Structure formats: structure tokens, C-alpha cells
Amino acid sequence: MSKKYYILILVIILGVILRLYKIGEVPPSPDWDEVSLGYNAYSILQTGRDEYGEFLPIVLRSFDDYKPALYTYLIIPFIKILGLNVIAVRLPSVVFGVIAVITTYLLVNELFKRSNIALLTSFLVSISPWHIQFSRIAFESNVGLSLNLLVTLFFIKGLKNPKLLPISFILGALNLHMYQSNRVFTPLLLLVLSIIFKKEIWKNIKWYGISIFLAFILAIPLLFYILSNQNALLRAKGVSVFSDQTEFLKRNTNKLENDLKNNDYLGMVIDNRRFEYAKSIVSGYISHFNLNWLFISGDIARHHAPNMGLLYLIELPFIFIGIYGLLFGQYEKRTKLTVFAIFLLAPIPASITKDVPHAVRALNFLPTLQVFVALGIIQTFQFVSNIKYQPRFNRGQALNIKIKYLIFFMYISFFIFNILYYLNQYFVQYPIENSMDWQYGYKEAVSEVEKIEPMYEKIVVSNMPHLDQSYMFFLFYLKYPPNLYQTDAKNASGGFRENHIFGKFEFRPIEWNKEIRGRSVLYVGKSSDFLEDARNIKTIRFLNNETAIKIVEK
Amino acid sequence: MIVFGIILLAAVLRFTSLDNLPPSLTWDEAAWGYNAYSLGINLRDEFGRFLPLTYLESFGDFKPPLYAYLSILPIKLFGLSPFATRFASAFFGVLTVVIAYFLTKQLFKTWDHVSSQVSSQVALLSAGILAISPWHILLSRAAFEANVATFFIVLGVLLFLKATSRGVVSSTPPRWNGFDTSVLCLSILSFVLSMYTFNSARVVVPLLLFGLIIGKRKELLKMKKQFLISILFGLFIFSPLFLFLQTPQAKLRFAEVNIFSDIEVVERVNMQIENDNNAWWSKIIHNRRLAYGVEYLRHYFDNLSPNFLFIKGDGNPKFSIQDVGQLYLFEIPFFIAGAFLLFRKKEGDWWIIPYWMLISIIPAATARETPHALRIESALPTFQILTAYGIHHLVSTISKIQIKYLIFYLYTFFLIFNFLYFTHNYFSHYSKEFSHEWQYGYKDAISYVRQVEDQYDRIYFTESLGRPYIYFLFYTQYDPVKFGEEVSATREVLGFVHIENFDKYYFAKDLQELPKQGKILFIDTPNKVPDGFKIEKTFHLLNGERALIAYTL
């Protein structure tokens, strides 16, 4: 085994450590999507049906998200072994996160034929704040990214060994069952790859046809589901830029009225609302190239460590150098095209949605950004190493060698500093500062409620923010028998303000003045739900000591 | 011929209905107009300072004075009107387009013959894009002193390059040359004038000049004498300003808007150190200077945000119509290509462009309101030059492709659509939508006051819309000498000047607090009119909402 494999193994071990360390505690609590995935997996494992009684669903209704269900199935074996807990829910993502680190090495090596670029890139992925963030939580997007990497890898390998092509397409079709954004991204990726490598495809047209056929077969259930089910596209509609028409078009409507009044025909054409839609898509797309988003502040708290962006600030100069180097450097044209194609396709699914830029929906940016950084670092390294060969400096060669090492030393120090800063922000500051964003408190609340539950006839739990979808956290931590829940909650929908009832539990807004007095009912809510006459039984605090959940009697 | 067409286009876009688009004057514009008017009468500013050289006190914001001097002539010619007040900005805006042409030509001029054709093509494109630039058009159409400062900076760079390139091109050994000296001196003069025009230029220009001198050190060494004379000349004309900059007034404004006084950052790092149990290493990684450094970068990057540059522009409707970015959407691919190709090809004095662009953002990023189209205007026309450079090289690449005409026509169509989209929104909808942002309503209210003031003993006018006194001075063309005798003003701690009254006009935030003596006409915003008063007249914004109401007891 050569040296590079030892390094690769070290990189993989590093990646594993960064993804497993304190996996149950950082982030400090599962969020609602994670508990939902977990409980639905538990439900399917026990009864073959999800929380709504759907038998082996290919689309998971969850909180009326109607999202691809594959991740839930990946959790099942882990629940079988570890029981229903947050670690079991997160482990599939960890595993695929490590797969992404390995695949990055293989893919970059395949594309550039240079193991130093590949090693550096996979190292950068293994320490990437962006990738660590989503490898440590049960977000389908992360598994989707790994699948896309495998799709690309097997596609390119398949050009030489056509028997591998079907694997690429099968994984691609599976990805449609993994994550919403990839229903747009993965087909585009395969299409663009097919165009870039059309010559080889033409030679292996038979295998290519078989691959497409197999992918199509796998996609059929999904197509059938979308065509037969009204709700299938609900989520897509809900998050798209077209959803909230009135506010979005208010200015536009005023302008059109103005044009009509003035008989301004040119104006009527220009103020057509379709142009506003087009502009908003372009706006969503280019918002992903905002340096503040990438390097300084990220988007919402669940998507990044506090005071950090998605990439290390120290990587900033190398990204530009790397892009420049890839554009003009001596690399194969199709390698260049592939990397830039992935880079430019990545923000497309997110750009038709409202919350842009979006670190989860645009996760497919990885690992192209790391490729740029790696190329940038290698080029800079070569440039700095060559300083001493410049004849102008030949008088002070010794001095220049020292300068060279000084530059290396300084830069490596900065890099290490940046990494240490990140590790502190993520593992120490993040849970404390953002435990509320992670819906912290249920674990403690449920274990307290479980203890005293026999003394009460009814337990009322608030479902208003920040306790939205509290019923799912109770199901998850109580490990409430899925068959019982399915019969109890037959008619509940997954909408955001839906009230749920199962067993002794009632999940609804608490209106303190109307609630009944007496010791038979236990109330669980946030502190603003209760007035002074509430008898406090237990207060659960966020990790920064603010009140999270209160358990009281009236 | 094409150059002439571009200049004409630039002029049309900058001068068409300049009087009422933007729909009315901001208080700063009114102050420029009135100070210039006052200077034109007795060489004193509104507060009677004789020939102010380093600042106009104005509202206590200590404006660099040059814009007022430049406006004396137009106001003498056209009378005290919005048009005359804005004339200097629009005029120098058009001149900037012209200078941008020669600058770009000079920048990419190298020794061989092919490149002269290249440089004039890129120059035409740059000037053309600047002529239709939403950023430059909007800032040229109001009395923004920044726009004039930009002209002086662009001119300064051009003259500097002219002066330093002559010695190299001519094969004769460099010797004492009066022409070179005067061109270099003019360049320095132009740079220093920009510092007398706009605050940000006081940071940008020294940095820019520093870069130019380093970049052209070889040429300058060949003309040591000329260089020395120019530097001495520059220091001489800069010295009054330098002395002023050492005073506390000059520093006030900076302290007021900068990010380094933001206490939240310190609180945050202290909390994070506490979270680490006050470990020594935590004090290093959570150093407050570092945290401020990152804050600074955040504000810096704000000015490069795609949304700001290409989609919506500055959040302040005075600097952007909110429908297009500071640059056009069609520029995106060329801008990016231009940037990479510039580094790739390294033609002429290419390095000036990125350097200039990046330092122009430095002063603006210390302020809280970022991105800020006005404070980084000195980065123009580098954006346009990059786009032009990109267009030039991409078009020559595309000419090799078969469907070039299709691409070409589609793209031209897109470009024209971009332009029409901007001009339509600006000329047809902008006034109506944003008249409030331009303090609309003062003019109508004041001309009403003029009609009826004889019937009243006192006029009470609200300060809610900001600095009403300057609009009274402006629209009534009040005699500056008389104003100086009548005015009663107070100066607040932060240096802000507060005018309480002159003549029979009284100004206050809350009019009900003023003594009720004699017959009074109140003018206030609609939400502040108390019940039981008699409404005499209502003044509307252009979108039909009420701006001001005149009422009596």
C-alpha cells in the first residue's frame, strides 16, 4: 500500500471522528423533522405503516411535507439495533457523510488523475463545516449529496466499464426517493454528464439504454404517486416563490394599473408579472454566490455554527485562485466542464424556493467548492515554492527559502486557528447559544411527565411556537406504541396548527383562563402560556438558562 | 461618431426632466442649492461664514464644500431651482462618461498595434455601459456630491496615467518637461479636489494614489523632478483640509456611523469566553479585535452581494429604484468573465481595475448601513470596464461558434429589454412610488404658506419630515443676509444644528408645545393633527397619500 492510502485512511478516520463525537448531544436535541423521521421508521418497523397508517409509504406525509421516504427506511436497521433514540436517527446520515468523504477522493482522482488533488479535496470535505453540519443530523439532503457523488463516480467509471453505468442510474433513481431537491438536481446532473461525455455514451449506447430503462422502472412508483395524489406537490408549492402571490406582486399590480391609466402599451409588456417571477428565480439563484452567506454568517441557525459561515474564511482566497486555475489550467476539458457544471447546477433547485440562499437545498455545491480550494492551495503552494528560482532574488537565496517557510508557517497557523475556532463554535458554543433553535427540552420534559403521569387523568401540551408539533416529540420520547397511535389519531392531519389527541395526551394551544382547575390535569407549555396561579411542578431550561418548557397544574 | 452618440445618450438620460425627477429635493439638495445661492450673493454660506474652504456647517454634518461652489454658476444662470441645484451633478456625470472612454483607452494601451483597436473597442463599451448604468444615472440626477467626486477621481487616474506613460513611449531620454509636470500636477489637483467634495474620497484617494505610485514607480523614477513638484503642490493644496481633519468636528460624523462602536460584539465574545469557562485559549480565539475584523468583512462583502449588484440595488430608494440592481442583469456573465480574463491576459495597466474597485469599498464598510451605493460610488467605472472587457473577449470567442448570430441577437434583445425595464420603471413609476423618500410635499406646503401668510401672525411647521427651514429658504429664495440676522438656532451635543425660527416661521417636532400666541397656521403630518382643529388644506404625495396638513385653531 502506498503512502497516499495511509493518508486517505487518516482522512477517513478524521472524518469519522468529527462526525461521531458527541453525536447525541451536538446538536443538543433532534429537531421536529428528525423525530418525525425516527418515529415513522419505528412505526414502519413495528406495524409496516407510517403514523398515518399508510402501508410502506414511498412518500412520507410527515407534517404534510409529503417528502421522499427513503431516509426513514435507512433508519430502521439502526432502530432495530440501538432502539428508538436520536443516535439511531442520525447514524444513517453519519455513514453517508463518511461515504461522501471517500467518494470525493475517488471521484476527484478519477477526474483529475492526480491523487494529491483528490486527497486534499477529501480532507477539506472531511473538515468542512458545511458537510459536518449536515452529516451529524438526520437531513435527507446529506444522503442525497452522497448519492449524487456516487452517481457521478459510477457514470464516469461507467464510460470505460459500461457495466457500471446502470449502477449510476439506479442510484440516481433512488435519489428521487431521497430528497426533494434532487428530483430536480439529479436528472439535470445525469443529463449534463450525458452531454459532456456524449462520445463515450454513443459507443455504449446499449448499456446507456438499459440504464435509463432501469432508472425509469425505479421512478415509476413516484411518477404514479405524483399523478394520482393531489397532495404530492403541496410542499413544493408551499415553498416556491409563486406561493404567496399577493404580497409578491403588490408593487407590480400598482404599476400595471398606472400603465393602463396612461395607455402605456410598452409599460404593460414590461410590467408583465411573468418577468417578476423570472427575476425572482434569477435572484434566488445568484443569492447563493453571496460571500457573506458562504463565509461569514450562513443562513438560519440550524444550518451553521454560530458566527461561522458554511466554509472556512481562510478558504476564501483559494476559491478564487482555484476557479481561475481550473478555468485556465492544464486540465482535461471535460474535467473542467464536469466540475463547473455541478457547481452551476447546485443552486438551481433552491432558486425556485422562497428561503434563499439555503444551505440544505444547495448542499450539492459540495464538493466542488472544496475542489476549487484544493486547486487553489496547490497552485499557491507551487507559486510560493518557486519564489526562490526567480533570478532577481538569486543574491539572497537563503533568505528566500526562509520567506517561503515563513509564508507556509503563517498560513498553516491561520488554517489551524480557523479550524480550532470552528470546533469551539460548533461543539461548545452552538449547543448553548442555539438550543432553542434545536427545540431543546422535550427529552427532559417527557421523562418528567412519564414519571408523574399516573397521577393525572389528562395531560395538555401546547403546540404553539416554539413548541410546534410537540405531539411528535412525545411520541418519539415515549416510544408510544405505533399501532395504538394509528387508531387513536386516525383523522389528524399533519398541518402546522393541527391538534392531536392520543392516550391521555392532548396537544393544542393552551388558553389559561379557560382551562379547568384541579389536580386531574397536567399542563405542559412555555412560560407565557401560564399565569401566576399556575402551580409549578418543573421548569426545563435551554442550555443558555432561559426557560424552555414549564410543567404546571392549575 | 459613436463616442458622440454615447455622450448624447448619457446627457439625455441625465438631463431629461431633471427638475421633477427625482420628484422633489432632499434636505441635502436644498442645502446645496441654498448655500450656493448664498455664496453667489455675498461669498458667504447660509450662516455667514466667508468663503468656507474646508467645510459647510449646514445641518451640523460639515459637508465638504466644493459642490456648493460648483453650483454657484448654474444657479446664477438658471435661478435657484431643483434643476440648477442638480445641474453640477448631472453635468459632471456626463463628463465622467467621456473621461471613462479616454481612461479605458489609456488603460489597455500597450505597445503593439492590435491592442490599440482592442483598447478603443473596450473603451467604447465601457463608456456606453456607464452611460446607461442605473447606478450612475440615479446618482447623476440628484445633487449628490459623491458623483462629482467620482468625476475628479476618474479624471485624476486618467491624467496620472497620461503623465507617467509619456516618458516611456517616447524614445528620447527623459528630461525636464513642463508638460509632464503640469499633467501630473493636474492629476494631483483633481485627486485633491475630490477630497474637498466627498468624505469617502478622503480615504479612497490616498489609497488609490499610493497604489498608482507603487505600480508606476519605474516611470516615476525617470521623472523624479516632476514627481517631486507635483507631490509638493498636492501637499500644499491639501494642507487646509488636513488641518480641518484634525478637529473634533471632522471626526464626529465618522464616530457616529461606524461599526466599531457596536457594543454587541463585545458582549457576544465575552459570553463565548464564559461558555469556555474563561479558558486562556478562548480569550485568544474570541478576541474582540478579531470579532470586529469579521464584522468589518461582513460589511465589506455586503457591497459585493449579488442581490445588491444585480437584483434590487441599494435598499435606500434614493440610490436605487428597487427593480434593478446597481448593475444590469445582462452584465453578470461578462462581469465575471471580464474579471477572470483581466487577470489572465494582463493587458496594459490592468491591475489598476481590481485595486481601485476593492479599495473603494474600504471606507463604506466601516459604516453600519451597508451596502451603500453612494459611499462606494468611487468604484465606478471599474465595474463597467470589467463588463466591457468581458464583452469584448467573449464576443470574439463566440464568433467562432456557428450559431453566433442567434446568440448575438438574443442577447442584444435581452440587453435592450434590461435597459427598457429600467428606464420605464424609472421614468414612469419611480416618482409616484417613492415621492415620500424625496420629502415630497414641502414645495406645495411652502407655496401655500406664501399665499396665505399675511393672514397669520405665526407659521408653525413640523420637523417630522426633517429640516423644514432649509426648504423655506430654498423655495422663498430668502435673502441670506436677512436670514443671518433673524435666525435663532441651537447647536446640539453631536454638533447638529437646530433652527428654531426665523421671520414668522417656527419649527418644532411637536407643534402643540409651542406657545399659542396670536393667529397661527399649523402645518403638520396627518397622524399628528389633533381633533377639533380646522383643516385648511391637505398636501398629497404623488401616490395619493397625505404628506402634510395645514390647519388652524
Q: What is the DSSP string of A263-312?
A: T-HHHHHHT-HHHHHHHHHHHHHHGGG-HIIIIII-SSGGGS-TT--SS-
Asked if A51 and A489 touch (Cβ cutoff 8 Å), the reply is yes
Q: How far apart are CA B253 and CA A260, in angstroms?
A: 46
pLDDT for the residue numbered B406: 87
pLDDT for the residue numbered B407: 86
pLDDT for the residue numbered B323: 93
Sheet holding B520-524, edge to edge: B488-491, B497-502, B505-508, B458-462, B520-524, B546-552, B534-540
Asked if B238 and B192 touch (Cβ cutoff 8 Å), the reply is yes
Q: B-chain residues within 8 Å CB-CB of A258? A: 428-429, 432
Tell me the Ramachandran region of residue B211: left when phi exceeds 0, alpha when psi lies from -120 to 50, beta otherwise.
Answer: alpha
DSSP per residue over B27-94, as a string?
Answer: HHHHHHHHHHHHHHHHSB-TT--BS-SS-B-TTTT-B-SHHHHHHHHHHHHH-SSHHHHHHHHHHHHH
Q: How far apart are CA B123 and CA A532, in angstroms?
A: 75
Q: At what angle do helices A180-196 and A140-160 cross, to 10 degrees?
A: 20
The average pLDDT across B198-210 equals 95
Interface of A with B in 272-291 (CB under 8 A): 275, 279, 282-283, 286-287, 289-291
Reference B85, options B139, B138, B37; nearest CA is B37
Return the bridge partners of A540, or none: A549
Q: At what angle do helices A140-160 and A165-176 cross, to 10 degrees?
A: 160
Q: Which of B272, B275, B424 sits opposite A267 (nearest CB)?
A: B424
Task: Give chain B's radius of gyration (CA, Å).
Answer: 26
Interface of B with A in 261-320 (CB under 8 A): 268, 272, 275-276, 282, 285, 291, 294, 297-298, 301-302, 304-307, 310-312
Q: How far apart are CA B43 and CA A83, in angstroms?
A: 87
Q: Do A296 and B297 count as a contact with CB atoms less than 8 A apart?
A: yes
Reference B356, options B186, B209, B518, B516; nearest CA is B209
Q: B-chain residues within 8 Å CB-CB of A304? A: none
- ∠ Cα A114 A119 A125 (to 5°): 130
Q: Do B294 and A296 count as a contact with CB atoms less than 8 A apart?
A: yes
Q: Is B258 helix (H, G, I), strand (E, B) or coil?
A: strand
Q: B-chain residues within 8 Å CB-CB of A290? A: 301, 305-307
Instruction: Calculate how close chain B gets to A269, using CA atoms only, in Å.
Output: 10
Q: Do A307 and B420 count as a contact with CB atoms less than 8 A apart?
A: no
Asked if A123 and A8 touch (Cβ cutoff 8 Å), the reply is no
> Closest chain B residue to A327 measured between Cα atoms?
B340
DSSP per residue over A208-237, as a string?
Answer: HHHHHHHHHHHHHHHHHHHHH-GGGGHHHH
Q: Which of B285, B343, B432 sits opposite A258 (nearest CB)?
A: B432
Q: B-chain residues within 8 Å CB-CB of A254? A: 433
Q: A-chain residues within 8 Å CB-CB of B424? A: 264, 266-267, 270-271
pLDDT for the residue numbered B110: 67
pLDDT for the residue numbered B108: 87
Asked if B468 and B443 touch (Cβ cutoff 8 Å), the reply is no
Residue B172 has pLDDT above 60, yes or no: no
Residue B517 has pLDDT above 90, yes or no: no
Q: What are phi and psi of A345, to 5 degrees?
A: -80, -30
- For the beta carbon of residue A420, count every other beta carbon within 10 angstroms: 13
- ∠ Cα A359 A360 A364 (to 5°): 90
pLDDT for the residue numbered B236: 95
Model's pTM, two decimal places?
0.94
Confidence bin at B547 (pLDDT 50/70/90): very high
Asked if A85 and A446 touch (Cβ cutoff 8 Å), the reply is no
Question: Is-cis flag, bond preceding B363, omega within 30?
Answer: no
CA distances, B421 to each of B5, B411, B549 (Å):
21, 15, 36
Q: Is B488 helix (H, G, I), strand (E, B) or coil?
A: strand
Residue A551 belongs to what H/E stretch?
A: strand A547-553
Instruction: Calculate how close chain B gets to A176, using CA atoms only, in Å.
Output: 31
pLDDT for the residue numbered B177: 64
Note whether B346 contacts A: Cβ–Cβ < 8 A.
no
Asked if B365 and B296 touch (Cβ cutoff 8 Å), the reply is yes
pLDDT for the residue numbered B186: 94
Length of chain B in terms of residues written: 553
The average pLDDT across B437-449 equals 94
* H runs (alpha helix) in B246-381: 248-257, 263-275, 280-285, 288-302, 306, 331-345, 352-360
Note whether A320 contacts B: Cβ–Cβ < 8 A.
no
Q: Which three cell numbers stand for residue A512?
A: 389559561
Q: Do A286 and B311 count as a contact with CB atoms less than 8 A apart?
A: yes
b/e map of B365-397 (b: 16 or more CB within 10 Å)?
Answer: bbbeebbbbbbbbbbbbbbbbbbbbbbbbbbee
Tell me the Ramachandran region of residue B518: left when phi exceeds 0, alpha when psi lies from -120 to 50, beta otherwise.
Answer: left
Grid look-up 490592468 returns B350
pLDDT for the residue numbered A393: 47
Q: In sequence order, which residues have a C-beta less than 8 Å from that of residue B189 and are 6 or more positions away?
A: B233, B234, B237
The average pLDDT across B251-262 equals 76
Interface of B with A in 419-448 (CB under 8 A): 420-421, 424-425, 428-429, 432-433
Q: Is B355 helix (H, G, I), strand (E, B) or coil?
A: helix
Instruction: Calculate how close chain B gets to A252, using CA atoms only, in Å.
Output: 10
Q: How far apart are CA A470 and CA A32, in angstroms?
A: 8
Q: Which three cell numbers stand for residue A385?
A: 515554492
Span A369-403, pLDDT tens digits: 999 999 999 999 988 887 654 445 445 555 556 77
Q: Do B343 and A254 count as a contact with CB atoms less than 8 A apart?
A: no
Q: B-chain residues within 8 Å CB-CB of A307? A: 268, 291, 294
Instruction: Calculate how close chain B gets to A291, using CA atoms only, in Å.
Output: 6
pLDDT for the residue numbered A63: 87
Reference A30, options A94, A69, A88; nearest CA is A88
Task: Report the relative pairing of strands B497-502 and B458-462 from DSSP bridges.
Answer: unpaired
The greatest distance separating any two alpha carbons of chain A, rounded to the nearest whole angstrom, comes to 92
Note whether B345 contacts A: Cβ–Cβ < 8 A.
no
Instruction: Calculate how close chain A gets to B167, using CA atoms only, in Å.
Output: 25
Q: Do B305 and A282 count as a contact with CB atoms less than 8 A apart?
A: no
pLDDT for the residue numbered B472: 95
> Closest chain A residue to B418 measured between Cα atoms?
A270
Q: How far apart are CA B463 and CA B486, in angstroms?
A: 19
Reference B83, options B29, B11, B40; nearest CA is B29
Asked if B384 and B130 touch (Cβ cutoff 8 Å), the reply is yes
Asked if A554 and A517 touch (Cβ cutoff 8 Å), the reply is yes
pLDDT for the residue numbered B248: 80
Q: Is B511 helix (H, G, I), strand (E, B) or coil?
A: helix
Q: Which of A283, A324, A421 sits opposite B285 (nearest CB)?
A: A421
Confidence bin at B111 (pLDDT 50/70/90): low
ipTM over 0.95: no
Q: How far apart are CA A17 and CA A94, in angstroms?
A: 10
The average pLDDT across B168-185 equals 66
In the predicted model, what is the mean pLDDT of chain B?
Answer: 91
Sign of the torsion formed by the C-alpha atoms of B158, B164, B167 and B169: negative
Asked if B145 and B64 touch (Cβ cutoff 8 Å), the reply is yes
Span A459-480, pLDDT tens digits: 999 999 889 899 999 999 999 9
Segments of chain A with pLDDT less than 70: 1, 231-236, 243-246, 387-401, 490-491, 494, 496
Q: How far apart are CA B102 and CA B114, in angstroms?
A: 18
